[in-house]
Each structure stands twice: as C-alpha cells, then as structure tokens.
Amino acid sequence: MNPTGDPETDERMEQVYAAVIDRNPGEPEFHQAVHEVLSSIGPVLRKHPELAEHKIIERICEPERQIIFRVPWADDAGEIQINRGYRVEYNSALGPYKGGLRFHPSVNLSIVKFLGFEQTFKNALTMMPIGGGKGGANFDPKGRSDAEIMRFCQSFMTELYRHLGEYTDVPAGDIGVGTREIGYLFGQYKRITNRYESGVLTGKGITWGGALVRPEATGYGAAFFAQEMLQARGDSLDGKTCVVSGSGNVAIYAIEKLHQLGGIAIACSDSQGYVVDETGIDLETLKEIKLDARGRIRDYVERRPSAKFVEGGCIWDVPCQVAAPCATQNELDGAAAATLVRNGVVAVVEGANMPATPDAVASFLEHKVAFGPGKAANAGGVATSALEMQQNASRDSWSFEYTEQRLAQIMAGIHEACYETAEEYGSPGNYVVGANIAGFLRVSQAMTALGLI
C-alpha cells in the first residue's frame, strides 16, 4: 500500500486489506482489485475521517450479496452438462446493481467479485444512478451450437430471474455474452415472469428494446478517453499508430473510433495469436470474420495478404504510440509494459477490465505514459446501458447521433473528474488515483447518506 504520511491511516488500510485476504482465501483477482483501490484512497481518509467512523472501507470490501447456483442443461448429443452460475450484487448505494454477465471457462468467484468491485466505482464515475454487480458462468460458448447456447441461457435465467428486476438488478453482456445471449435470457425472463420488463436487461437487440450505440459504446468510449488524455497534454490521436488487443466487441469498436479520430490501428488479436496489418486493420473484414462468422483472427490474413499472422506471441511486441488492451484481465504484464515504453508508447487505455497487471501500471506511471484505467476508460459501455434504461423507462428510442453525443459527453465528464481529482489529491496526471478517489467518494457519500445498510 502507498504510504500516506499518516501512520494511523496506513496501519488501518493494511489491517483492512489483511482482513480481506483472510476472509476471501484463494481469490487473487479480487485481492488485486481491492489492493489497487485501497492504495489510492489513503489521502481521502485523512481528509474525511467520518468515512473511517462509518466503516465505509470495511463495508465496501464486502459485497452486499453473492449468489452461486447450479446450471444444468443438455447438449446436442443429449448429454447432461452442469455449470456453475454466479451473480455478485456488489453495491446498491447509487442505484440497482448493474453490470454484465461473463460466460467463459475461467469464470470463478474471484473473477466475478473483482469485476463487481470494479464495476461499483466505474458506474459511480458515469454519474448515472446505477449500483455495481457482475455475474456469469464457467460455461465455454466456443464451439457450441445456437440451440445449445439457447438452452444454457434458459437454464441460467431459470434460477437468476428471481434475483433480478429493473429496480433491483439489471445485467448486461460481457465476454461471451452479446445480443444473441441477451435475447435468450430476456425471452426466458419474460416467459417465467409474464412481464415484458425491458429495463431488466441491457444490450438488447435494437428491434426489441435495445439502444443504438450500445454495441459500439465500450470501444468508442475507450477511444474517446484516449483522445481526452492526449488533448489534456496538448497532443492528439492524429496519425498515431495504435495496437488493440482482442477482437471482440470492445476491440472492434475501439479500432473503429480510433480510426475515425485519426489514429491507425495496425494490430489486434485473439487467444491463438495476433495479426499485424501495417496499412491499418480493415474493419469490414474484421467484422465479417468476428461478428458475422464468429471465426478466428487468423482468417484475416487469407483475405488481406498484406497482413501477417503471428501464432501465440505477445501483441505488445508490436511498436505503437497508443496501446488499448481490450481482451481480458492481466493480459499486459510488467515485461510487456517495458517493451511498450521502450518502443515509445504515449498513451495506454484499458478497454478491458484490469488488463494491465500492477507491475505494468507502475511502469506506465513511472514513465509518465498517459494511462487510462478500465474503471474510467471502459465506462462507456455501462453508461450507454444506463441510457438504454432511460429510453426503456420512457418508452422512447433515441437516434444514433444523439446517443453517441451523450456518450462522448459522459466520457469527457469522467476524464475531467479523474483529472481534477488527481490534481486535488496531489497526484497530477495520475488517472488511477483520480478514478479510484472520484469513484470511491461518490459511492461512500451515498453509503453515508443512506445510513448503516
């Protein structure tokens, strides 16, 4: 933990963190996310001793509710499969629990708790009335037929529905959960409850209650955040070489917006390797492969002979000025950060949740790279989910232009809050400190106002 200069505060933080480790054994990702926030907020405690009195830190480190359930389903061969489902309803001081569902074999309680913890502060930064939550299952959608995906979603929702509601808990997508899965989940919720409750899920299809810009929002938002960080330094994205890891929704639309803002994204990846296209990633080809055909990134080089595919390897070896990790947690380590710094990176923007390891973050901060942490930089997705909830509540639907404009304003607002908070608390230019403190203050003020809950 970073020393604050006040031994009493330092000791208290160490104690809280030790208790978190003790109470949550075997959850390294959760410990990592908590450690990062606790390391930033020492100065807040010195300024606001009442937060310690109310035991806000201790309360914030404990999720309000953790739900774990069995998800039984039958595959196409008639074989019975069992998965484990989760929903961590992390904090509802600012609004109903809000956050995505992740379907991936790596999902476990540690991952869902770290994501729910991060989500709470991220959602606070959007200034929208949403609490934090996250869920998912250790289900691997890869290679599964459409009918299997549907049966899995139906079984998952058959348990989860009782915990949801537009004023209670509003899931959305994340890795492995897109519009198709939200459709099956929503259909099952509607069937069980006999309610067309549009506001219970976001990321819905445009023709049945979804919002324009939601599919693009996380990636667009990350690109907007990169632009804001560069502008704050009197620089811009214009002509900058960008490397974006991943090739899902977040990566694809980060690339699209980076291109529109003047950058040139030359590389992206999936779990098998990465492609480099020096002329700039061709978005139409990428969308056809990944969105339409649900294929692999290696297929890209068959259609674009100018590009090369590197099997395995590390995408961060590709020299660039802007790096956007948009794949998954801890995908960019200290060694990769050192390579990026050596190659002259000027901005790093986290499109995924916690993709940079603590070592990597430390290295970027030490070398004065503009570093946008996920809870600020990728908040555009959930913010647009909140805009979807607004549209559902008023039975309205907004144009693409208007919604995108709202998204851009929200991202500019988040950037400003992080920038100013970092300055106020003595760490100018440090968006990690800015995001953690600004998010924490908003959540803790609401928690204090609502009494001991």
Spot the catalytic one: 98, 113, 134, 375. Answer: 134
Interface with ligand GLU, residue 131, by CB under 6 A: no
The pair of structure tokens assigned to 303 is: 């259609």
Tell me the residue number closest to ligand GLU, measured at CB. 100
Judged by CB under 6 A, the chain residues 200 through 219 that form the site for ligand GLU are 202
The one-letter amino acid code at 149 reads: I
Half-sphere exposure of 344 (CA within 13 A, CB side): 6
Q: Helices 380-393 and 109-125, interaxial angle, to 10°?
A: 70
174, 216, 228, 404: residue in contact with ligand GLU (rule CB under 6 A) = 174
Nearer to ligand GLU, 98 or 415 (CB): 98
Helix residue spans in 95-213 (DSSP H): 109-125, 146-160, 179-193
Nearer to ligand GLU, 329 or 385 (CB): 385
Neighbours of 298 (CB within 10 A): 16
Interface with ligand GLU, residue 227, by CB under 6 A: no
Judged by CB under 6 A, the chain residues 71 through 90 that form the site for ligand GLU are none
Q: Helices 400-424 and 109-125, interaxial angle, to 10°?
A: 90
Q: CA–CA separation, 350 vs 245, rounded Å?
A: 10
Contact letters for ligand GLU, residues 237-256 (x by CB under 6 A): --------------------
| 8-state DSSP, 288 | I
- Map residue 256 onto helix, strand or coil: helix
Strands (E), 271-321: 273-276, 308-311
Nearer to ligand GLU, 153 or 346 (CB): 153
Judged by CB under 6 A, the chain residues 404 through 423 that form the site for ligand GLU are none
Nearer to ligand GLU, 125 or 340 (CB): 125
Q: Which of 326, 433, 424, 442 is nearest to 371 (CA)?
A: 433
Q: How far is the CB of 114 from ligand GLU (least distance, A)?
A: 11
Q: CA–CA separation, 380 vs 223, rounded Å?
A: 10
Q: CA–CA separation, 376 vs 384, rounded Å?
A: 14
Q: How far is the CB of 353 from ligand GLU (least distance, A)?
A: 5
Of 52-60, 74-82, 97-105, 223-231: span binding ligand GLU (CB under 6 A): 97-105
**Number of residues forming the site for ligand GLU (CB under 6 A):** 10
No. of H helices and E strands in the chain? 18, 12
- Is the distance from CB of 41 to CB of 51 less than 8 angstroms? no
Q: How far is the CB of 16 from ligand GLU (least distance, A)?
A: 25
Q: How far is the CB of 359 from ligand GLU (least distance, A)?
A: 23
Interface with ligand GLU, residue 42, by CB under 6 A: no
Paired residues of 46 in beta bridges: none
33 exposed, middle or buried (CB, 10 Å; 0-12, 13-18, 19+)?
buried
12, 31, 98, 415: residue in contact with ligand GLU (rule CB under 6 A) = 98
Interface with ligand GLU, residue 381, by CB under 6 A: yes
Interface with ligand GLU, residue 100, by CB under 6 A: yes
241, 247, 321, 385: residue in contact with ligand GLU (rule CB under 6 A) = 385
Q: CA–CA separation, 307 vs 278, rounded Å?
A: 7
Of 14-22, 289-297, 332-340, 381-389: span binding ligand GLU (CB under 6 A): 381-389
Q: Which of 179, 173, 134 is nearest to 29 (CA)?
A: 134
| 368 part of the active site | no
Nearer to ligand GLU, 43 or 246 (CB): 246
172, 346, 369, 435: residue in contact with ligand GLU (rule CB under 6 A) = 172
Q: How far is the CB of 381 from ligand GLU (least distance, A)?
A: 4
What are the residue numbers of the active site? 134
Chain residues binding ligand GLU by CB under 6 A are: 98-100, 172, 174, 202, 353, 381-382, 385
